[in-house]
Structure formats: C-alpha cells, structure tokens
C-alpha cells in the first residue's frame, strides 16, 4: 500500500518535493526553497511547525544550496523545537567539547575531519557501521531536531547515511517487540570526557537543559521510545552511545544490542543517503571512506526526556502500510 506523504507537508505542500524512500527522507527539489525565506514569511510559524512535523514523520528532510547563515541556523533549530511543544527549559545544546572546537560559539558543533567532532571516537580498522547514532543520547534530555549544513566536502566519499527508527521497530517480530518494550538502556559518551581531559579544558555545563549537567555523560533511556509528535513507537538504541540494557545480564545485553545494532545498519531498505543541508531526528552515520576535508556546522535543539507509552502504536499500524 502506497503512503500519501504529501499530506504531511501542510503549508509546505505547494513546494516541489519528493520522498527519498518509502520509509525515510523527504527532499525539496531545488535551491529556490530557502530556509531563510521560510523564516521571514508572514506565516513563518505555520511553515516551520509543518516543517518540524514533516521531519518528525520522515526522520530527515533535505534542502539544496542554502544561504542560511549560522546565526539563523541556530534560531531555526530552536524554533522547530518550540513550535513542536518542547519544554520551555529546553534550549540549544552546548556540546561537551564545542567551545574548544568552534570559533562560532558553544552552541555550534563543528563537524569536521580537520578538528572538531566529525571523527570523535573513531577507531581505524573497525567496521564503518560503528558510527551509527542518534544525536546526544548520552544526555538525559537529548536532541529533538538537529540542523547540519555542510560547507566543505571531499571530492569523493563522505556521504551520510540515515535510518528510520520507526521502520526498524516495525521490522521486529511481535514477540520481540513485546520483549523490548519497557526495557531501559544506558547511553554514555566517555570518549568526549577523555577528549576534554586530553585538551586540558573543562566540559560545557549546563548543555541546553537544566538536566544536562555534570561531567558524567551518562543517561538511561527506554529501548523502545514513543515519539512525542507522531506518537509512533521507535527503536531507540544506537551503536555509538548505547552500552547496556539494564534489565538483562551483561551477556544477554551484549547479545540483544548486537542484534539491534545490526538490525539498524544492515537493513538498507530503511536507509537513505542524499547530500544536502539536513534537518534530522533519526539515526545517522557519516561514511568514513574519504581522504579530503569534510566539514559543516551543526545546531542542535534539545527536546524532552524520552518516554515509552504502552498505548502508543507503530508507524505501519497507524498508516496501514503493508508492503
């Protein structure tokens, strides 16, 4: 059964766009669609709220050749979260080591192979799939929206892959879904603590929420999360930050997490990979197959504490998807 996703675009439906795959990603066709213009429109709040809703449903939305400067990018990230109903205490994230890697300020994360956090924690000789993650899940209150504008790309390689947490959940068997629902997992980013110590500088504190404080970058989140905007169930573990499922023994946890990590990275039909400026709310990873420079600036809106609602439903169940 085909899904009419044009209805998700609301006030944006007059702008030419297409879905990258059946399950994830929407891309606006050309550079005439400028985020900076949407922000200045008379109905800007309506446009941006509908954009936030589209990102929540599609996981990632792509725009071409954008002229938006970094100060407006920061404003846009915060507005998307506010118009989606995030808590008033949630602002823009300050990455633990952002002030040490960015001349643009602590609220800008420099994603760069020349310095910054593009390859933080990367170990050569490891599988490329080790880089899959959702942004800042090591925080008690993680991201709801991230906006990444790439300004430097290698001649070959360096693409970003995206995966749908909704579809990853829907691919699980009913018995496995029931087993995972209600479980919780530890997320941790000790490698940023190590980087901070190696640089000899303190980490940022607080980091976009009064709950994101301290030097222990550890949080506990549900393994299956209910998305606060769509109401859909989504798989909420990732290879980079998720360390252990608390309700299981260490061996059991390792076994289950290994399966779930591969479930995300090896199902290519729930992934997408076009280049652009991205607005993100899902799993992603850069492909470390390049030698040239790769850099961009990221703004991250902090959302709310992840939760699981047993009464919530899956994306396929709500939309009647059978293919």
Q: 43-60: per-residue pLDDT in tens?
A: 999 999 999 999 999 999
187-203: pLDDT as tens digits: 999 999 998 888 888 88
- Assess whether pLDDT exceeds 60 at residue 124: no
Least confident range from 23-37, 97-111, 129-143, 216-230: namely: 97-111
Overall average pLDDT of the 264-292 stretch: 78
Q: Which residues contact 198 (CB under 8 A, 6 or more apart)?
A: none
The per-residue DSSP string of 79-107 comes to HHHHHTT--TT--B---TTHHHH-SS-TT
Contact at 8 Å (CB) between 301 and 77?
Answer: yes
What 3-state class would DSSP assign to 143? strand
Identify the pLDDT of residue 156: 64
Q: Decide if 284 contacts 200 (C-beta within 8 A).
A: no
- CA distances, 101 to each of 50, 95, 147, 199, 203 (Å): 33, 10, 18, 10, 11
pLDDT confidence tier of residue 104, bands split at 50, 70 and 90: confident
Residue 1 banded pLDDT, cuts 50, 70, 90: very low
**What is the 8-class DSSP label of residue 202?**
P
Domain residue limits, the chain: 17-319
What is the chain's mean pLDDT, rounded? 88
Across 158-162, 275-279, 314-318, which has the greatest mean pLDDT? 314-318
Mean local confidence (pLDDT), 256-266: 95
Q: What gap in Å lies between CA 161 and CA 22, rounded to an integer?
A: 15
pLDDT surpasses 80 at 209: yes
Class of CATH domain 17-319: alpha beta
Q: Quick check: 263 pLDDT over 50? A: yes
Task: Give the whole-angstrom CA distance, residue 128 versus residue 1.
Answer: 33
Whole-Å CA distances, 194 to 28, 55, 177, 203 = 40, 33, 36, 10
Helix, strand or coil, per DSSP, at residue 289: coil
Instruction: Say if residues 128 and 116 touch (Cβ distance below 8 Å).
Output: no
155: pLDDT strictly greater than 70 = no
Question: Is residue 235 pLDDT above 80, yes or no?
Answer: yes
């Amino acid at each position: 059964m085909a899904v009419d996703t044009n209805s998700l675009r609301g006030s944006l439906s007059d702008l030419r766009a297409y879905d990258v795959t059946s399950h994830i990603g929407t891309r606006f066709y050309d550079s005439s669609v400028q985020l900076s213009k949407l922000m200045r429109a008379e109905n800007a709040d309506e446009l941006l709220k509908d954009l936030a809703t589209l990102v929540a449903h599609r996981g990632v939305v792509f725009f071409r050749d954008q002229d938006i400067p970094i100060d407006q990018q920061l404003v846009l990230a915060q507005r998307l979260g506010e118009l989606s109903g995030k808590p008033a205490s949630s602002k823009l994230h300050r990455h633990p080591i952002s002030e040490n890697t960015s001349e643009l300020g602590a609220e800008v994360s420099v994603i760069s192979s020349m310095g910054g956090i593009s390859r933080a924690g990367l170990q050569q000789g490891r599988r490329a799939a080790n880089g899959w993650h959702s942004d800042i899940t090591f925080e008690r209150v993680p991201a709801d929206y991230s906006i990444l504008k790439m300004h430097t790309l290698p001649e070959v390689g360096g693409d970003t892959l995206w995966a749908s947490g909704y579809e990853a959940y829907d691919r699980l068997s009913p018995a496995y879904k029931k087993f995972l629902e209600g479980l919780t997992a530890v997320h941790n980013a000790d490698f940023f603590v190590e980087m901070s110590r190696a640089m000899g500088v303190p980490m940022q504190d607080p980091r976009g929420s009064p709950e994101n404080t301290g030097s222990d970058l550890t949080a506990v989140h549900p393994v299956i999360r209910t998305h606060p905007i769509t109401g859909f169930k989504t798989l909420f573990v990732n290879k980079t930050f998720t360390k252990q499922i608390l309700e299981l023994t260490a061996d059991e946890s390792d076994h289950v997490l290994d399966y779930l990590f591969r479930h995300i990275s090896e199902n290519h039909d729930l992934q997408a990979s076009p280049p652009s400026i991205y607005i993100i709310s899902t799993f992603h990873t850069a492909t470390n197959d390049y030698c040239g420079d790769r850099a961009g600036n990221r703004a991250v809106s902090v959302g709310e504490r992840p939760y699981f609602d047993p009464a919530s439903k899956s994306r396929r169940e709500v939309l009647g998807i059978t293919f």
